[in-house]
């Protein structure tokens, strides 16, 4: 315990936090990357076993508060150009389906499930600098959320066309 009476939490000695990112869109195969120098084969929360490729991954997690716009920022080394080509193709096509980014954190002592619930976000602002991709993702965008959630269009409510 520290002087204020709070306990300090930490992983046991020798246990490493492994950050993983999964970038998905219907138009391309999932791009999976993890922090560190070794590829990691882990079990997702769905029970699926997948491999995340090791890379220089830098993650800046959003604050855990009640602000309207919460962002995750990350930079990933893009050695093969796979992520850049896939994301640029989606942006250039004006596809309304968003690119999804899922952040999971594992402990090196237990790769059978994420250590925390995954964060599902939508890609907001990709930027490519040389071999590095820097991306801002957002979840819980209360400011831009429509209210009411259901849009009353003629597809949703056909009787509106008679008004």
Contact 126, 59 (CB under 8 A): no
Answer whether residue 50 is part of any domain.
Answer: yes
Answer whether residue 12 is part of any domain.
Answer: no
Band (pLDDT 50/70/90 cuts) for residue 85 is confident
Answer whether residue 6 is part of any domain.
Answer: no
CATH value at residue 110: 2.30.110
Answer whether residue 3 is part of any domain.
Answer: no
Q: What is the pLDDT of residues 132-155, one digit of tens each?
A: 778 788 775 555 666 777 777 888
Answer whether residue 26 is part of any domain.
Answer: yes
Beta strand ranges found along 3-144 (DSSP E): 17-25, 28-35, 40-43, 49-55, 57-60, 70-77, 100-107, 119-129, 132-139
- Predicted confidence (pLDDT) at residue 67 exceeds the cutoff of 90: no
- Predicted confidence (pLDDT) at residue 92 exceeds the cutoff of 50: yes
**Stretch 59-64: mean pLDDT, rounded?**
70
pLDDT of 158: 87
- Smallest CA-to-CA distance from 43 within 35, 34, 51, 55 is with 51
pLDDT of 83: 72
Q: What is the pLDDT of residues 102-114, one digit of tens each?
A: 999 999 999 999 9
**Quick check: helix, strand or coil at residue 162?**
helix
Sign of CA dihedral 83, 71, 119, 59: positive
Answer whether residue 157 is part of any domain.
Answer: yes
- Predicted confidence (pLDDT) at residue 68 exceeds the cutoff of 80: no
Side by side, the strands of the sheet bearing 57-60 are 40-43, 49-55, 28-35, 17-25, 100-107, 119-129, 132-139, 70-77, 57-60
Number of domains in the chain: 1
Contact 125, 136 (CB under 8 A): yes
**Stretch 62-73: mean pLDDT, rounded?**
66
Tokens 């995954």 locate to: 118
Contact 137, 123 (CB under 8 A): yes
Distances (CA, A) of 12 to 8, 28, 113, 117: 12, 38, 18, 20
Boundaries of domain holding 68: 17-162
């Amino acid at each position: 315990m520290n002087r204020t009476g709070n306990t300090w939490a930490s992983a046991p000695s020798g246990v490493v936090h492994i950050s993983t990112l999964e970038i998905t869109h219907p138009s391309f195969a999932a791009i999976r990357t993890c922090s560190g120098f070794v590829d990691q084969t882990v079990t997702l929360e769905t029970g699926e076993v997948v491999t995340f490729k090791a890379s220089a991954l830098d993650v800046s997690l959003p604050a855990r508060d009640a602000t309207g716009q919460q962002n995750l920022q990350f930079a990933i080394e893009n050695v093969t150009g796979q992520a850049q080509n896939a994301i640029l193709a989606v942006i250039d096509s004006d596809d309304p389906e968003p690119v999804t980014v899922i952040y999971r954190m594992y402990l090196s002592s237990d790769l059978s499930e994420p250590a925390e619930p995954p964060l599902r976000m939508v890609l907001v602002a990709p930027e490519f600098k040389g071999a590095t991709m820097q991306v801002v993702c957002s979840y819980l965008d209360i400011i831009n959320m429509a209210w009411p959630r259901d849009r009353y269009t003629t597809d949703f409510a056909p009787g509106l066309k008679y008004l």
